[in-house]
Amino acid sequence: MGEPETSTATVLILDFGAQYSQLIARRVRESNVYSEIVPHDTPWEELEARKPAAVILTGGPESTLAADAPGVDPRLYTSGIPLLGICYGLQLIARDLGGELVRSANREFGPATLEIVREDPLFAGVPQQSRAWMSHGDTVLAPPSGFAVLARTQQCEIAAIGARQRRIYGVQFHTEVVHTEAGKRVIANFLHDVAEIPPSWRLGSFVDRSVAEIREEVGDGRVICALSGGVDSAVAATLVSRAVGDQLSCIFVDTGLLRKDEAATVVATFRDVLHLRIVPVDARERFLARLSGIVDPEEKRIAIGHEFIAVFEEEAARLPDVGFLVQGTLYPDVIESKTPASKAGHKIKSHHNVGGLPERMSLRLIEPLRALFKDEVRKLGHVLGLPHAVVERQPFPGPGLAVRVLGDVTAERLETLRAADAIVTTEIEAAELDPRPWQYFAVLTPLQSVGVMGDGRTYANLVAVRAITSEDGMTADWARLPASLLERISTRIVNEVPGINRVAYDITSKPPATVEWE
């Protein structure tokens, strides 16, 4: 586990709806200081009660000059808490403390040369000139009294201001994006030099802190979680079990829609290696019966989601006095669920989760990962000692293989897909590609075509192979797999999997296609 924590300092990031708020949180954690994002309208009493070691105000889509512009409680400015405003945050500070602002005639977007005009600890170690990323409409014309102008760009005379004694700073450029050369340094300077927070936070400290918090919240209550085999639920469950041990029961539902050997591996790993209390539920027949006759992709997803919740509820009801439900919600999920329906776009697919359960079962939610990103969760998984296969497992859809068996979902067709999929997975992993595709799998289509095997005619199914590169699954490109690898995959599938006589490789990006075929 990481080095011991010498400080429990938390930096609170007041989110004004910036595109990059999560990146700010990340940069702060990369400076070895713990941070959390909170909504900008969090009441002052709540903020103060958390005793933040510093506060950062993010950018945002609004103009501070608009009548209903979101703001901060003025007590923040007199509290003595070190404060850094970024973009909209800077403009708020300037507006609230008596500076002068204007809606610019020429909005500034993209790279600019940042020039330091006055020495200050905020810019310690930053070259006189560096590239910075700008994106703003409003501009500060004059700083509030007591504030010095620290930096400029060609188009923006006031790109950074500071009141050193009061420990209040504002920058117009985006410190959090990689294109801003001095970004990391400015954030680190603010945290370590201005706010005097030691760089002592490690992911290991996150474990200690979470375990203590969960223990406090749960007391001697009983906790359940749904284990899927995925990294998020695994890390969340492991953290909770560190805190409350056997008070946690992990329900693992075998839907029969998992990959080859997956159900057995998940149960063995979590029970025998991680020593979690597992409640395995064999619901294979039940899911098959529920899916019988359904061929429409959306109907399949909805049926599986409902069935999953029904099984989970029944199993949970067998456990006495359950009060809490653990979920592996990540920061991007938190943000997505906050997005107003009008902005969320059209629904493409119904993703399945156990979202409605806490209210229905009157359970309290424990979401220990809600401040983290996927790659941070993976690191945390390693810190917690989870097996590599669990931590680095590729994403897998909630409805499982049902959305990769196009058309009717039957036990036989699932078996065919599992065999083909195992070949795809084994061959791609054995090829040790660098980088390895983000996700790779087989899809069983209902399409039949003519072939010849030995001296006989065949009329059998087509399997599609899908391998993609992606950062986050939101957009994707098809992976340029070596021809020799594709050849091995194709030959093996046709030779080894009964009922398949043709293999196609999916060369569509997302958009316009999606990653999964259904």
515 counts as binding ligand XMP under rule CB under 6 A? yes
Which is the catalytic residue, given 5, 40, 62, 174?
174
What's the closest the beta carbon of residue 396 comes to ligand XMP, in angstroms?
6
3-state SS, residue 65:
coil
Task: Decide: helix, strand or coil at residue 88.
Answer: helix
Active site residue 192: no
The answer to whether 439 contacts ligand XMP (rule: CB under 6 A) is yes
Please choose, out of 99-107, 190-198, 208-216, 345-353, the segment that lies near ligand XMP by the rule CB under 6 A: 345-353
By CB under 6 A, tell whether 516 contacts ligand XMP: yes
The yes-or-no answer on residue 174 being catalytic is: yes
Which residues 451-480 are close enough to bind ligand XMP by CB under 6 A? 473
Which residue bears the tokens 């936070």? 201
DSSP state of 41: T
Cβ 513 to ligand XMP, closest distance in Å?
Answer: 8
374 touches ligand XMP (CB under 6 A): no
Q: What is the 3-state secondary structure (H, E, C) of 161-211?
A: EEECCCCEEEECCCCCCCCCCCHHHHHHHHHHHHCCCCCCCCHHHHHHHHH
Given the rule CB under 6 A, which of 33-41, 155-163, 346-354, 492-500 is the region that contacts ligand XMP? 346-354
Q: Assess contact for 300 and 291: CB atoms under 8 A.
A: yes
Site for ligand XMP in 389-408 (CB under 6 A): 395, 397-399
* Subset of residues 38 to 97 that bind ligand XMP, contact rule: CB under 6 A: none
What the block records as the tokens of 437 is: 């595709």
**Nearest-approach distance from CB 398 to ligand XMP, in angstroms:** 3
- Least distance to ligand XMP, CB of residue 20, Å: 22
Which one of the listed residues 87, 156, 225, 250 is annotated catalytic?
87
- Closest CB to ligand XMP among 118 and 351? 351
DSSP annotation of 10 reads: E
Q: Does 387 bind ligand XMP (CB under 6 A)?
A: no
| Residue whose CB is less far from ligand XMP, 38 or 513 | 513
Q: Is residue 351 near ligand XMP by the rule CB under 6 A?
A: yes
Among positive and negative, which fits the CA dihedral 395, 319, 239, 213?
positive
3-state secondary structure of 273: helix
Tell me if residue 176 is catalytic.
Answer: yes
Cβ of 283: how many Cβ atoms within 10 Å?
22
* Binding status of residue 349 toward ligand XMP by CB under 6 A: yes
Instruction: Please state the closest distance from residue 98 (CB atom) to ligand XMP, in A.
Output: 49
Q: How far is the CB of 392 from ligand XMP (least distance, A)?
A: 14
The closest of 458, 482, 470 to 514, measured between CA atoms, is: 470
Residue 231 vs 276, nearer CB to ligand XMP:
231
The active-site residue, picked from 5, 62, 176, 516, is 176
Going from the C-alpha of 362 to that of each of 17, 40, 248, 325, 383, the distances in angstroms are 31, 29, 17, 10, 32
Contact 283, 311 (CB under 8 A): yes
- In whole angstroms, the minimum distance from the beta carbon of 470 to ligand XMP comes to 7
Rounded CA-CA distance 266/420 in Å is: 21
Which is closer to ligand XMP, CB of 25 or CB of 402?
Answer: 402
Three-class secondary structure assignment of 347-391: CCCCCCCCCCHHHHCCCEEECCCCCCCHHHHHHHHHHCCCCHHHH
Which span (36-44, 152-160, 196-204, 349-357) binds ligand XMP, by CB under 6 A? 349-357
> In what side-by-side order are the strands of the sheet with 54-57?
34-39, 10-15, 54-57, 83-86, 168-171, 160-163, 148-152, 100-116, 129-142
* 204 touches 1 (CB < 8 A): yes
Q: Which is nearer to ligand XMP, 434 or 471 (CB)?
A: 471
Nearer to ligand XMP, 178 or 310 (CB): 310
CA 291 vs CA 110, 226, 342, 355: distances in Å: 51, 21, 32, 21
Closer to ligand XMP by Cβ: residue 381 or 397: 397
Q: CB nearer to ligand XMP: give 192 or 351.
A: 351
Does residue number 514 form part of the binding site for ligand XMP (CB under 6 A)?
A: yes
Asked if 379 touches ligand XMP (CB under 6 A), the answer is no
| Min CB(99)–ligand XMP separation in Å | 45
Give me the numbers of helices (H) and strands (E) for the chain, helices first please: 16, 18
CA dihedral 32, 38, 42, 44 (to 10 degrees): 10
Q: How far is the CB of 315 from ligand XMP (least distance, A)?
A: 20
For ligand XMP, the closer of residues 113 and 514 by Cβ is 514
Q: Which of residues 483-512 bind ligand XMP (CB under 6 A)?
A: 510
Which residues are known to be catalytic? 87, 174, 176
Binding site for ligand XMP (CB under 6 A): 349, 351-352, 395, 397-399, 439, 473, 510, 514-516
